[in-house]
Amino acid sequence: MKLAESRSTLYLAEPVADIIPSPDECVYGLLYEFQTDDLAKLNAVRQPAYRSISVVLTIESVNAATARMAGSNVTATTHEAVGKDASSESVTDQFLVRLIDCVRTYALPTAYVRRVVAPQPATPLPVAKIEVGNKVLTGETVKAIFIKVPPLYAVYQTENRVAFQFADDPARAALQRARMTALSSMRAQQSALIDGWTGARLAATRARAQKFNARIAAALIVGLEGDGNAALNILNDIKTDLLQIRISWGRFEYLLSAFVFASILVISFWVMRHHPFQAGCAEGPTGPLWLAARAGVVGAFFSIAIAIRKRTVLPDLFRRDNCADAALRIAIGAIGAGALLFLVESGIVPPLKLGDATLGRGVMSWQTVAALGFVAGFLERLVPDLLDKRDPTSSTDAKDAATKQKAAPDPNVSSRPAPAPGGGTA
């Protein structure tokens, strides 16, 4: 870009967009608006590194545009480095400093001064300028174009999402914006559900993201064409499919985390059985305890596997919550198995009947201990229910019995009818 009269040209390091309609057209001045603090910073930057060079020129009439300015003097000021070793500022700083000084020293008529406000407000690209590789208003790069109808609209894909460009005409763009506002919430939810798929390492995941992006683009095209209700219905269907996929992966991760945690516990209990507790404790060997705990872990995992379709599982976006819930369920199974073994052996709870077998106090075979632990792990509420039955304050049977006792008549009170007034019986 040049800033001078045609016979003496001052070249600037960086062009300013949308200032010169034609490269051959002369620009006699540029006025940038800055805050006082910004000007002070720029002056502080340039003073130690640059020296000013001023040139006084006389404008000659070379065309109709400069006829009225013929004979007037113009002072052009620029800067050059003080020495070869002087620190050089960025191109932008040099450019702005030179612009400011030129504007300060130019004696130009107002009619020949182009006014530019810096920083310039960002303007969206025209629809025709939406091309693969170009950057849009948000700073993202266009990766693919689904449709482009200049000057009406364009639907394209960036690194992270599917986006669209409104019409070049402000009135038509305002109408499109009003129609598409109703879809903003749904688009935000879908962007959150697709998050992480577009840049995934697995090709299958990237292909899945591309498939859904194409469906979202189709819905946006319908909305830009004017049918907002149909576009919203399509986006709702897409959201439902995305949630199903996310929940499906959440179930898989739930099972996987439960299996991993169960395996860790089984191995840990086996190690505890043989070391350092191989000698048992003062009250006897602890082998049945670790066997029951391992069986409880297996029972808990079996219960999870059977009820996984009906179990409430969050989408895989909440991976930590799913893993924590699975680990907690396995831990409850192990703890419940050990607790049930203690309760039965100590006689705190009555003997349990499993088929024809009765589990109570006494020496149990390893098969019986394993079955007891498996049942305790499989039935998550077994141990709490047994403890509730042993607590008369919380037992449902005890409460029912107390209610019946209150309703029953007192045997000490006579049931004969009361005498009628005046004697006799009624």
* pLDDT of 108 above 80: no
Position 139 pLDDT exceeds 60: yes
For 278-312, write each residue's pLDDT tens digit. Answer: 554 444 567 788 889 999 999 999 999 998 888 88
Q: pTM for this one?
A: 0.57
Give the pLDDT score at 152: 92
Give per-residue pLDDT as tens, 176-230.
998 898 898 898 888 888 988 888 888 999 999 999 999 999 999 999 998 989 9
Residues 334, 326: Cα–Cα separation, whole Å: 13
Q: Provide the 10 A C-beta neighbour count for residue 129.
A: 15
Tell me the mean pLDDT in the region 357-362: 66
pLDDT band at 394 (very low <50, low <70, confident <90, very high): very low
pLDDT tens figures, 65-89: 556 666 777 666 655 555 544 444 4
Closest CA to 165 of 192, 188, 135, 200: 135
Question: What is the phi/psi pair of residue 323, to 5°?
Answer: -65, -40
pLDDT band at 407 (very low <50, low <70, confident <90, very high): low
> Of the ranges 20-29, 149-158, 319-328, which one carries the lowest mean pLDDT score?
20-29
- pLDDT for res 3: 37
261, burial (CB in 10 Å: exposed 0-12, middle 13-18, buried 19+): buried
Res 166: pLDDT: 92
Out of 78-92, 158-172, 363-377, 399-413, the most confident range is 158-172
Of all residues in the chain, what percent carry a pLDDT higher than 70?
Answer: 58
1-15, 65-79, 94-108, 120-134 — which is least confidently predicted?
Answer: 1-15
What is the pLDDT, as a whole number, of residue 28?
45
The pLDDT confidence band at residue 412, using thresholds 50, 70 and 90, is low
In three state form, how does the secondary structure of the chain look?
CECCCCCCCCECCCCCCCCCCCCCCCCCCEECCCCHHHHHHHHHHHCCCEEEEEEEEECCCCCHHHHHHCCCEEEEEEEEECCCCCCCCCHHHHHHHHHHHHHHHCCCCHHHCEECCCCCCCCCCCHHHCCCCCECCCCCECCEEEEEECCCEEEEECCCCEEEECCCCHHHHHHHHHHHHHHHHHHHHHHHHHCCCCCCCCHHHHHHHHHHHHHHHHHHHHHHCCCHHHHHHHHHHHHHHHHHHHHHHHHHHHHHHHHHHHHHHHHHHHHHHHCCCCCCECCECCHHHHHHHHHHHHHHHHHHHHHCCCCCCCCHHHHHHHHHHHHHHHHHHHHHHHHHHHHHHHCCCCCEEECCEEECCCCCCHHHHHHHHHHHHHCCCHHHHHHHHHCCCCCHHHHHHHHHHHHCCCCCCCCCCCECCCCCEC
Beta-bridge mates of residue 53: 78
